[in-house]
């Protein structure tokens, strides 16, 4: 039996940085499941169904193999235990991400000792990207090309068109 990894996040919306991390994870693990968190106390721009659809479109647009994209409602470690995943993949953009990610990794290990967290760094030219920054660029009418897949750029323009 192969190793299954979960790549969790809110992906509101998915960016080229997220796709880069997914591409790296696919090379390392037999199965990578993208788990889209429904509620982390954030008010998402896109509802969960639209985020799931955008991720699947982005994966196809990017040429990544079809990955399982699922809704994550509840504790990540419970989901990992349920599907038999032993790895959580997280992207680290900068040192500023590390403290929060380190705390989460330690807490997840405390909750389920069998699960390891692996940190992957996206390409340098994506290290400044975040969904929050992308939404701000879109709100202000900035150029989105090169930051997000075309399907996401289109959805952002449509969603934020006043």
Query: The CATH number of the domain where 62 resides is what?
Result: 3.40.50.620
Sign of the dihedral through C-alpha 122, 10, 134, 101: negative
Query: pTM here?
Result: 0.92
Respond yes or no: is residue 93 known to be catalytic: yes
Number of domains the chain is built from? 1
Q: At 108, phi and psi to the nearest 5?
A: -60, -40
Catalytic residue (choose from 18, 23, 24, 51): 18
d(CA 55, CA 106): 28
- Confidence (pLDDT) at 1: 58
pLDDT digits (tens, 9 = 90+) for 125-148: 888 889 999 999 999 999 999 999
Catalytic residue (choose from 51, 90, 131, 135): 131
pLDDT digits (tens, 9 = 90+) for 96-126: 778 888 888 889 899 889 999 999 998 888 8
Q: At 65, phi and psi to the nearest 5?
A: -65, 155
Token reading at 75? 């504790």
Respond yes or no: is residue 42 known to be catalytic: yes
- Other CB atoms closer than 10 Å to residue 133's CB: what's the count? 13
pLDDT digits (tens, 9 = 90+) for 28-86: 999 999 999 986 566 899 999 999 999 999 999 989 888 999 999 999 999 999 999 99
Written as one string, the DSSP assignment of 37-92 is: ES-SS---SS-HHHHHHHHHHHHHHHTPPPPEEEEE-S-HHHHHHHHT--EEEEE-
Range of the domain at 41: 4-160
Respond yes or no: is residue 78 known to be catalytic: no
């Amino acid at each position: 039996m192969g190793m299954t990894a979960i790549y969790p996040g809110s992906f509101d919306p998915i960016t080229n940085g997220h796709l880069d991390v997914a591409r790296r994870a696919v090379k390392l693990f037999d199965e990578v499941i993208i788990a889209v968190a429904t509620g982390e106390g954030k008010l998402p721009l896109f509802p969960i169904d639209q985020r799931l659809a955008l991720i699947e479109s982005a994966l196809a647009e990017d040429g990544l193999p079809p990955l399982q994209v699922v809704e994550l409602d509840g504790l990540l470690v419970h989901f990992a235990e349920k599907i038999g995943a032993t790895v959580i993949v997280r992207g680290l953009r900068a040192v500023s991400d590390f403290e929060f990610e380190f705390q989460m990794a330690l807490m997840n290990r405390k909750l389920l000792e069998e699960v390891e967290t692996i940190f992957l760094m996206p390409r340098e030219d994506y290290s400044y990207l975040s969904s929050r920054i992308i939404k701000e660029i879109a709100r202000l009418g900035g150029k989105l090309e090169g930051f997000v897949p075309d399907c996401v750029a289109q959805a952002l323009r449509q969603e934020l068109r006043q």
